[in-house]
Amino acid sequence: MTTAKRAAFFRAEGVLLSRGVLAATAYYAANAQKFSERALRLGVVALSAPLQGLLGQNDRTLANRLAFLAARGMSEDRLAELGEEYAEDMLKDKILDQGVELIKRARAEGHRIVVLSDNIAQIMEPLLQHLPKIDDLVCNHLEITDGEATGKLLDPVIGSHGDGKWVQGYAERHGLDLRACAAYGAHGTDLLLLAGVGRPCAVNPDFTLRRSAREAEWPVIDYQE
């Protein structure tokens, strides 16, 4: 673990990865063990997709909760197995080279590296082996009861406006000076995260964040997959 007193916070989706949570939940649904179960779970994903589009820029808490309803009833072992498969077979090739370079640059500048992800631990933890060394991963966790997912995400749900408050608490726990910290976000819900540090940067921003970054005169980086 680094002892740096400043950190760089990276939103995984959009900054480091070109795929979001809907692709992950669709993978889980499509690989359910029974055909009837697959159809039901894919139906849940299809119903949540339009809401993801509508809510994604402004209320990712609800959008992420809806997306992972498709995992309801899956065993903890199956979630872990499919998460590892998805990270290895589908997601590692969607890691953005430019995002990796941003991590390496921040590390060279002496920052503690923190990655925040809308996705769940069963996917993100196996993916870490394909990323440069990071100090902390902050991601979502499914509620497990009697060995099965309830379909609910545990609080706090990562990927919301609340991430800005979470970063303040993180800085207090680790003795960080937020004025010396950097943050890289891609969504409108990253506004409070970016506003809370001294070096904010919008990366591949959605409409809401691009407009706000322009008004705040924050740096904007655009790169392709």
What does the domain layout of the chain look like in residue ranges?
Answer: 7-221
The angle formed by the CA atoms of residues 220, 23 and 44, to the nearest 5 degrees, is 125
Report whether pLDDT(2) > 50: no
Alpha carbons 195 and 192: distance in angstroms, whole number: 5
Alpha carbons 78 and 24: distance in angstroms, whole number: 14
Q: What is the pLDDT of residue 81?
A: 95
Burial 77-95 (b: 16+ CB within 10 A, else e): ebbeebbeebbeeebeeeb
Tens digits of residue pLDDT in 71-93: 888 999 999 999 999 999 999 99
Alpha carbons 125 and 142: distance in angstroms, whole number: 14
CB 45 within 8 A of CB 2: no
Alpha carbons 122 and 120: distance in angstroms, whole number: 6
The mean per-residue pLDDT over the stretch 199-221 comes to 95
Report whether pLDDT(201) > 90: yes
Q: What percent of the chain has pLDDT over 70?
A: 85
Nearest Cα to Cα of residue 117 among 5, 1, 3, 10: 10
How confident is the prediction for the chain on average, in pLDDT?
88
Alpha carbons 31 and 35: distance in angstroms, whole number: 9
Tens digits of residue pLDDT in 138-183: 999 999 999 999 999 999 899 887 888 899 999 999 999 999 999 9
Torsion sign (Cα): 167, 171, 176, 177: positive
Report whether pLDDT(206) > 50: yes
What pTM, to 2 d.p., does this model score?
0.89
The mean per-residue pLDDT over the stretch 191-195 comes to 94
The gap between the terminal CA atoms of the chain, to the nearest Å, is: 30
Alpha carbons 75 and 81: distance in angstroms, whole number: 10
Alpha carbons 192 and 3: distance in angstroms, whole number: 25
7-221: what fold? Answer: Rossmann fold (3.40.50)
* Res. 28 pLDDT band, cuts 50 70 90: confident
Nearest Cα to Cα of residue 66 among 190, 159, 166: 159
Q: What is the pLDDT of residue 85?
A: 96
In order, the DSSP letters of 165-212 are HHHHHHHHHHT--GGG-EEEE-SGGGHHHHHTSSEEEEES--HHHHHH
Least trusted range by pLDDT, from 58-62, 95-99, 122-126, 177-181: 58-62
The mean per-residue pLDDT over the stretch 121-127 comes to 97
